[in-house]
Amino acid sequence: DTAVSQTPKYLVTQMGNDKSIKCEQNLGHDTMYWYKQDSKKFLKIMFSYNNKELIINETVPNRFSPKSPDKAHLNLHINSLELGDSAVYFCASSQEGRAETQYFGPGTRLLVL
Amino acid sequence: AQSVTQLGSHVSVSEGALVLLRCNYSSSVPPYLFWYVQYPNQGLQLLLKYTSAATLVKGINDFEAEFKKSETSFHLTKPSAHMSDAAEYFCAVSDFQGAQKLVFGQGTRLTINP
């Protein structure tokens, strides 16, 4: 049973295109996140949702739009892709609270050409 | 604001040797600290976490970490390295801004030599 799943695993696209990444968790968690990992492996939070409501938006360009249709899903749509968007995007989920463990998906490797 | 510094972007040890990965934190409130491991082409997995209970925290795969407030450190150790420990290790501190916000260090790549 996959706890946090993401699709697709790999995404290769041209600059200027629009793409979406989907995330689903079957852990019953209330909170979901998107992280970006750059080529130097640095991980930074992008967004956090709690019960379908946006809680954290870390000064991400508005070309990135998260959408949470229900608390088990958090999708990431990216408009007008740029070269600098090439990275690995991770979805994660947790229960609510500062001490909770976040469970990460396998990542989506995005390459913008 | 919370922050984490991992000393050493790359650590190399021999199989069977002690593993020591260093993490120092900065936090304006009592910190909650985490160590995550990332195996190649995979997501992150929790090794252990400190949430203000015992200062010596034991995790999976014989890893442990000790919280030292006086040194603002949370170093990760394992007595005897296995080849399967080769991975990227991340220390993180937890902030809360309506939701948990993990602030990660730069990561340390651990290589195990046979």
DSSP B7-33: E-SEEEEETTS-EEEEEEEE-SS---E
Contacts of B107 in chain A (CB under 8 A): 41-43
pLDDT of residue B59: 96
pLDDT of residue A55: 85
DSSP A50-75: ETTEEEEE-S--TTEEEEEEETTEEE
pLDDT of residue A1: 66
Torsion region of A9: left, alpha or beta (phi above 0 gives left; psi -120 to 50 gives alpha): alpha
pLDDT of residue B88: 97
Over chain A (113 residues), the average pLDDT of each successive run of 10 is 91 97 96 95 93 84 92 95 96 90 96 97
pLDDT digits (tens, 9 = 90+) for B46-82: 999 999 878 999 999 999 999 999 999 999 999 999 9
Alpha carbon of A84: minimum distance to chain B alpha carbons (Å)? 19
Contacts of B43 in chain A (CB under 8 A): 4, 90, 92, 104-107
Which of B36, B94, B106 lies nearest to residue A98, judging by beta carbons?
Answer: B94
Beta carbons of A102 and B51 less than 8 Å apart: no
